[in-house]
Amino acid sequence: MIADVPAERPVLATELSFAGRVWDLRTDTVDLGESGVVTRNYVHHTGAVAVMALNDRDELFLVRQYRHPVRTETWEPPAGLLDLADEDPRDAAARELFEEADLTAARWDVLIDMYASPGGSSEGIRIYLARDIAEVPEAKRFARSEEERDMEGRWVPLDEVLASIWAGSICGPTLLAGAMAVDAARRSHGATLRPADAAWRRPPSPLD
């Protein structure tokens, strides 16, 4: 088995180039030793969680949401930022499932951890498998706003999601990684799953 190797290079200088509403842009001067000193710009991200909610019919609950940078309404699992200090990632995932899907789950496992784009962003994403699903009563549902107000939610068979990936008709990274991880868990009868509180090599956050 291989593993990523945590490694720090000396940061000679760091600058907050842009402070955004959701994440920041930093510029670091990094000493790479014999390779020289380089300047790197990157998105300093809070990190995120995503939820692959799976029902007894082997269907995933997905939402379709407008993503302005790619000018596309992408199908995605319920997901959100880890932008509350000291919030447990599983609690954040449960919050996003409640807010975006009007669902709760009694059973949680870790499917996969990933870096969204490690060459330009510090965003780490933990994707959970949520099962034993229940609907939130209508009177207790979260009032969605802005980009989330009109987003569509739908139960989609896992096999249909996988076929859409191979056809190239869906491209969101959390859905691609999450759906393939759910399929791996299905094929291994759960052997690939980790406990909901499994250790996570989460990159440093602006909230740290």
- Rounded-to-integer distance, Cα 30 and Cα 11, Å: 5
Q: Shortest CA distance to 128 belongs to which of 43, 38, 48, 204? A: 48
Q: Shortest CA distance to 40 belongs to which of 11, 69, 18, 19? A: 11
The radius of gyration of the chain from alpha carbons, rounded to an integer in Å, stands at: 18
160 is catalytic: no
Catalytic-labelled residue, pool 34, 123, 148, 152 = 148
Handedness of CA 154, 158, 163, 164 (dihedral sign): positive
Does residue 72 sit in helix, strand or coil? Answer: strand
Q: Go through the chain and tell me how many residues it has.
A: 208
List b or e across 135-155, with b for residues whose CB sees 16 or more CB atoms inside 10 angstroms.
eeeeeeeeeeeeeeeeeeeee
Q: Which residues are marked as active site?
A: 148
